[in-house]
Structure 1
């Protein structure tokens, strides 16, 4: 029982990071109807920038953290203004392929500057485990889960009560109607990419403090995609719950297959098994909006 409790706790931590990255997917999709396949690479870039500032330049971690967030805002603005804005009005497949190309460029730049070997952050928190319900949990795991939950609460309040958040929701509902009401739709697009870049960088920094980082971190975007589909591409609540469900499912399924059948590596495919099942049963996800078209 303790073995599976440990798997569930680890899964919740990883799932909370999945939820953050899924939030970036959902925000961009809600505002622009574009699926950003460079989301994982944005996670990787944020993690490496914070690593470079903390380890290679010797800055305090908190300073590096906030400087990385500032860099992420600039990165999001550059991507939207320079790469995606000229594609407004073009076929959606063209925009999606541009994000695929952007993912390749970002990954190549990271490998050019930092190589492919694993990089490890210096310990930020104590390493002595904290016992919760008879299960030892590393303080970095608790901090990661708490930070993810806090950020989700902040973004939920932002979208529900702030003027900018309401404008983003209106743009996601109907771009033409929002523009007719005086909302700067192009500015909302830019803000969406900035938020997506920021939450991705935070997810990358959290993962870097837990497992270290390498160029394979960019694959996280593809691992998070089943969580987005599970929750619904246009649902913030779905992003949160989908990430947690996939994180727990991966860990528990992998632990079960190793313990019972001695089959390692099931973690890599468990999320995609769920993805196929969800697409067959509920193509719009658990909380996604079902679009009905009448002819």
Structure 2
């Protein structure tokens, strides 16, 4: 029984890695711009389709296709910020939320028109061979997905913490007016944060799609990502990594022992309880509004 629990736990933690990069995509935009990007899931989905298009339809190979998809996704995300969101700066938050919801609908509709509703299988870039830890078996794709996510998340957090651009993002997150008075071009920070969000979302989508295939509904995973972000606190970069792994573990263990019907709502119940006790999330910071 213990070995079975450990196996479910390790599989769950590896599955939770899927949420980590998408959650980081959400948080980096929110910290830098104060925009709730409800199009994160559709950015994942569309970037994954771009990878499929460059690799399978254009036939340039999965390595070049991956690079092309990441570049195009970053440019698309920055274009959305520049054309659709920047003119609305200073408007009520609900207006920006509705715009991101509109973007999500547009991206999903475009995917339906271009690639149709059927499942598209990606090139198998993750090894299928399972990994054994004693008697514990971990599916190869999940294990390698976890490793790749860990490397990317570590590189991103180092970039965010130590680079000049990361410092500019953190300064803008604290106080946009003060950051601009210190010579930081906050509009460039907005562009950069959306570009990074596009890259993170696309890589997350490709890892997810390499396991399950890609359909226009791939973006629905963002509902779980939102739960992860709320659990961690929408301002915590490190917190969403922990919360993403915890959410994956919780879903898998609950599903294994209680069934899929419990699995579908238990994580949200946990988030609700946490939010009632600590509205800023487990790792979120309390923001003081000065009038």
- Report TM bin, short chain: over 0.9
Equivalent pair of 1:226/1:274 in contact (CA under 8 Å): no
Q: Within 5 A, what are the aligned runs for 1:105-254? A: 105-254=106-255
Structure 2 counterpart SS, 1:265: helix
Q: Does 1:266 align with 2:225?
A: no
Pairwise CA distance, 1:151? 1.1
Equivalent pair of 1:123/1:209 in contact (CA under 8 Å): yes
CA RMSD of aligned residues (A): 1.5
Pairwise CA distance, 1:286? 0.9
Q: Within 5 A, what are the aligned runs for 1:23-102? A: 23-102=24-103
Equivalent pair of 1:15/1:247 in contact (CA under 8 Å): yes
Structure 2 counterpart SS, 1:136: strand
Aligned residue pairs total 290
Structure 1 counterpart SS, 2:265: helix
Q: What TM-score, normalized by structure 2, do the two folds share?
A: 0.95
Q: Which residue of 2 aligns with 1:278?
A: 274
Pairwise CA distance, 1:3? 3.5
Q: Which residue of 2 aligns with 1:104?
A: 105
- Deviation string 1:78-121 (CA, Å, 9 cap, x unpaired) is 11101101101111110111001111111111111111111112
Pairwise CA distance, 1:14? 2.1
Pairwise CA distance, 1:293? 5.4
**1:287 and 1:147 mapped to 2: Cα distance?**
24
**2:215 and 2:68 mapped to 1: Cα distance?**
20
Equivalent pair of 1:235/1:287 in contact (CA under 8 Å): yes
Structure 1: runs of 5+ lacking an equivalent: 259-263
**2:289 and 2:163 mapped to 1: Cα distance?**
32
The 1:159–1:125 alpha-carbon spacing in structure 2 relative to 1, beyond 3 Å, is closer
Structure 2: runs of 5+ lacking an equivalent: none
- Deviation string 1:193-230 (CA, Å, 9 cap, x unpaired) is 11111000000000111111112111111111111011
Pairwise CA distance, 1:73? 1.2
